Amino acid sequence: MKRYIVGGAVRDALLGQPGADRDWVVVGETPESMQAAGFRPVGRDFPVFLHPDTQEEHALARTERKTAPGYRGFVVHADPAVTLEEDLARRDLTVNAIARAEDGSLIDPWGGAKDLAARVFRHVSPAFVEDPVRILRLARFAARFTDFSVAPETLALMRQMVEAGEVDHLVAERVWQEFSRGLMAQQPSRMLEVLGDCGARARLMPELDPPGAAAVRADAVAASELSLAERYALLLADLDEARVTSLGERLKAPVEARELAQMLVRERAALSAPAPDAEALVGLMDRCDAWRRPHRFLSLLRTAQALLPELPRARIEAALAAARGIDAGAIAKACSQPAQIPVAVRAARLTAVRETP
C-alpha cells in the first residue's frame, strides 16, 4: 500500500509548529482492498477509511469536477489510477499541497515548501475558484499564520469569486465553522482584513464592515482565556442590538454566543457606571437572570472586563455571591402572602449587596 501524509500535518511540521492530526492519502487502492486490509469506511462524500490500529484517516487519492455553484457542487472521482500529484492538484493552497512519504521524503509538485519559506498563501491552480469555502479557510489561516501574506494573483481570484456570487451559496453553518476558528486564532483581525480585501466581508457579515476597533480588541485578547462566545461578544460590542441580532441570525451562531453578545451591548452603559450602588447591581443581575444563570453572568463580566478595563469586576462578583447566598426558601416561608415573596427576596438581595465589602 502506497500512503502519504498530506496537508496540515506536513505544513505544520515544516514550520516547526505543533502538528495537526495526520491525514493520509492512499494511492493505487480500492474501497474493497482497503476493507480487506482491515480499514473501516467512514467517508460519506468520498472514500475515507480509519486505520485499524491508529484510527487515522486514510482517503483514496481522488480528483474533483465542478458541477454546480457553491461548495457542494462537485463530483468526486476516486480510482486506483489517480496519482498522488493529481490528488495534490485539487487542494486549495500550495502550502497545503505537500505530501510526505513513509520514508520521510517530500513530494511537493506545486512549490509549497518555497511558499512556506516566503510566508505566502498561493492557490495551487485556477480550480481554486470552484470552492468558496477556500476564501474562508485562507482568511482563517491568515489569522493563525500572522506573518503570511496573500499572493496578489490569489487575492484577485478571490475577488472574482465574490463578484461571481460564489460566496452567496455558502451555508451559514460552514461560514460560522471557519469564522469561529479564526476568532480563536492568534490575530483575528487578519481574518477580517482578508475577507474585506476580497469583498467577502461585506457579503457574508455586513454588520462588521468595517470592523473598526472591535478587531483590535479581538487581537488584544487572543492569548487570553476568553471562550469563543466571549470573543464573539467582544467583537460585536460596538454594534447596536439590531445589528447584533441580524449578524447572529445570518451566521446561525450558537445561542450562547448570541445571548452573550446581546447582553453585552444592552448592558454596556450599566457596566460602565463607575460606582454602581446596590439597586443598580441587583437590577443588572435581574435583567441578566444572574440568579438562574450565574455562569452566563460571570461570562458577561469577563467579556466586559476586556472592553472596560475599569470595570469593578471583583466587587460585582462578590455582590452576586452574597445576593445568591440568601435563604430564599426561609424568606418565602416567612411571607404570609405569595405576592410578598418576590418583594421580600429582592429586599434581602439588596441588603446582602449593600453589606458586601
Per-residue pLDDT tens for 4-35?
999 999 999 999 988 778 999 999 999 999 99
Mean pLDDT to the nearest integer, 175-185? 96
pTM: 0.89
If you count DSSP H runs as helices and E runs as strands, how many of each does the chain have, helices first? 18, 11
Share of the chain above pLDDT 70, in %: 96
Strands (E), the chain: 2-6, 23-27, 40-41, 48-50, 57-60, 62-66, 74-78, 99-101, 106-107, 120-121, 149-150
Q: Give per-residue pLDDT as tens, 239-279.
A: 999 999 999 999 999 999 999 999 999 999 999 998 899 99
Percentage helix, strand, coil for the chain under 3-state DSSP, each rounded to 5: 55, 10, 35
Q: Counting beta carbons within 10 angstroms of the beta carbon of residue 147, is it exposed (0 to 12), middle (13 to 18) or buried (19 or more)?
A: exposed
For residue 72, what pLDDT is reported?
54
What domains can be seen in the chain, in order of their start residue? 1-115 (3.30.460.10)
**Which cell numbers in the block locate residue 68?**
454546480
Per the CB < 8 A criterion, the answer to whether 250 and 172 are in contact is: yes
Q: What is the rounded CA–CA span in Å between residue 182 and residue 289? A: 30
